[in-house]
Chains A and B, each alone.
Chain A
Amino acid sequence: MTAERHQQHDVRLQIAGVALQRGFRRLVTDFDLTCAPGDIIALQGPNGSGKTTLLRALAGFHTPASGRITLSRAQGDEIEEQGEVLSFLGHQDPIKAGEKLIDQLRFWADLCGASRDRVTEILARVGLTKQADLQGGVLSAGQRKRAALARLLLEDRAIWLLDEPASPLDQEGRALLGTLLDQHARRGGIILAAVHDPLPGVVARVLNLGTRESEVAA
């Protein structure tokens, strides 16, 4: 355990009046949310209700039609660069088929400025020690998701945005995900996850992004 691991995160996330649009379709209007350190939020809703778009807007990939997303530290100073405090785990896994898994994680360590020494230890934590020298192309969907989780641990950012993190994972993988989420929240991290099933192992605040029609249908 490094000293760095015990350090508490102290980032807050504030979403005020955000509206999201895809093409001509309004997905979300007047969305407000405040997250304090330690919050775990499960975004639920039918397909196409804007869960992924909301996560991508928070990561800065998508520009909201209106509203404001603010990241700030406990002392009150605002954070301009999302990349300093935020990790994104999308439904695609950025794994290259023709490169060894360990090399890929070393690359991510270099890119985010993390120590290369932690790579082996983190691979052990997500249960991929045996796969370290395998090419990315032969990994199964679940193993790829575990590798993406390893990247999250490596980056060590305060806010985790997870898009369907549990979907390809087996029972053991889901338990692992639960442990990681719990540890992250205890350290003051914020987790926002788009899910269909409840997040494993943790108690999350559930937010429904359902459209009006779908609520009637349900």
Chain B
Amino acid sequence: MSLLRACLAILKREVRLGWGAGGGALLSASFFAGSVMVAPFALGPAPDTLGKIGPGYLWLALTLASLVSLERLFQADLEDGTLDQMLLSPVPHSLQVLSKIIGQWLATAAPLLATSPIAALLVRVEPAVILPLCGQLAVGSLGLFLIGAIGAALGASVRRGGLLVALVVLPLYAPSVIFGASAAAALAAGGDFFSQPFLFLCALVLAALAFAPVAAAAAVRLHVD
């Protein structure tokens, strides 16, 4: 099973490099934790206001935190010629890109999601809702990483292109954030985990899983010429 072996190798390498020296896997989690930490200062610590805004604020923090690691997703490989070699591999390029995205998601989103229950406590989310809410954030974060990869691929050859990538990606994030935040609001109002907005979010993530790797692979190919 050489295809599976190659994809797993890419995925594991992405995790290894992310956690290695200078990999920056914890940057997104730190950004997420930091932005949640300032929320009570900015919005006021009153439990009823904060509790109302809290679930939506977590989605905002997740969206912005997921932008942090995007810039380097393809840029490092483009600069050191790794991308050339990956194009020469017999493994389909979109599968390689998918493995890279999943690898980065595991390396950067996992610590972020691990901090999310504490973050939820900080913004006064009802304790009973915290774990289901974090589950929804986990599903949504995969969608954000997949969609973000398209922007990262487009901006891969731009020096200091992080802000450009953010500008490209944020409008594409809108549907996921809308459904994610509505699902969170439904949870906070005592609704089901599998509410209608959450099902829409799941559909979005599945669609991104199918299309984003192909689009990102095509975009990244443009820079190799």
Contact = CB atoms under 8 A, between A and B. Distances in A.
Interface of A: 56, 59-63, 81-84, 86-88, 90, 92-99, 103, 106-108, 110-113, 135, 137, 151
Interface stretch (B32-40, B75-83, B129-137): B75-83
Nearest to A86: B88
A62 B225 contact: yes
A59 B80 CA distance: 17
A88 B76 CA distance: 18
A82 B225 contact: no
Interface of B: 2, 5-6, 8-10, 13, 16-17, 20-23, 76-77, 79-82, 84-91, 224-225
Contacts, number: 79
Nearest to B76: A96
Nearest to B86: A111
Contacts of A98: 17, 20-23
22 contacts: A61-B84, A61-B87, A61-B224, A62-B225, A83-B87, A83-B88, A84-B90, A90-B84, A92-B80, A93-B80, A93-B81, A94-B81, A98-B20, A98-B23, A103-B13, A103-B16, A106-B9, A107-B10, A108-B85, A111-B6, A111-B10, A113-B5
Nearest to B13: A107
Contacts of A96: 17, 76, 80, 82
Contacts of A106: 9
Nearest to A155: B88
